[in-house]
Amino acid sequence: MSKQDTEAPAATERGALEELSRDDASRKRFLKMVGGAGAASAFAIFLAACGDDDDDKKDDSTAASDDKSGGGAKSDIDIVNYALTLEYLETAFYNDVLESGIVTDKNIGELATTFAKEEQEHVDALKAAVEKLGGKPVAAPETKFPLESEEEVLKLAATVENLGAAAYLGAAPDIKSPEILAAALSIHSVEGRHAAALNTATGQTIVPDGAFAKPASMDEVLKAVKPFIVS
């Protein structure tokens, strides 16, 4: 058995993000998978924002939590289904906005149409990812959004997109599969661009967190979107 074979399980247990931060060969393969050299700067920002936790900072409770979650594919299935739920919400939001007719500004209407299409593509990709991992995609929740005025819709859209970007950032350290991490990084980038466009439209700064985006935990995100979920 080669040295590489004996070290592989430990790398898998660390999670894809930590493995990529430590192993140059794995990082090069990953960057090639997500777009080559052009993805290097995005990955660097992603890594810096998530934080680079050393093995000696992980305690027994963290390891126990990993074991309890089932590890490997089971953990990634949970994360992808979590992301899928958020994408369902975003897709439903934009579709409801378009159907309501409340948006009269042509440019904002075009943004909503584009974003709705892209969020649906995220839904389709994440459902396929769950199935590829051997899991069952979570069902779309019934939603209801406060669509009272064009101004309020814009503010809510900005809030939802900024939250979505933070959610992917928060989930990244727990992802085990490099392929799933690559997908998360790709979607995170788009959510961030959506958020930037909407921040501009609502008069906010494009980068509300400054040079490095702040991640949001699953509990924080689910609490924030709970008011929009009917069932």
Q: What is the structure's pLDDT at 181? A: 87
Local structure of 98: helix, strand or coil: helix
Distance CA 204, CA 207 (A): 8
Distance CA 62, CA 186 (A): 27
What pairs with residue 229 in β-bridges?
Answer: 143
E strand or H helix that includes residue 43: helix 40-50
Instruction: Give the tokens for residue 111.
Output: 């943004």
Q: Indicate left, alpha or beta for 72 from its phi (over 0: left) and psi (-120 to 50: alpha).
A: left
Distance CA 158, CA 89 (A): 14
Per-residue pLDDT of the chain in tens (231 residues, 90 and over written 9): 444 444 444 444 456 556 555 555 554 555 555 554 445 555 555 555 555 544 444 444 333 334 433 443 348 999 999 999 999 999 999 999 999 999 999 999 999 999 999 999 999 999 999 999 999 999 999 999 999 999 999 999 999 999 999 999 999 889 888 888 888 988 999 999 999 999 999 999 999 999 888 999 999 999 999 999 997
Tell me which architecture the domain covering 3-228 has in CATH: Up-down Bundle (1.20)
8 A C-beta contact, residue 13 and residue 55: no
8 A C-beta contact, residue 151 and residue 201: no
Distance CA 170, CA 164 (A): 10
User: In which residue are the tokens 């998978």 written?
Assistant: 33
Q: What is the residue extent of each domain of the chain?
A: 3-228
| Predicted TM-score of the model (pTM) | 0.75
Amino acid at 165: A
Distance CA 45, CA 25 (A): 19
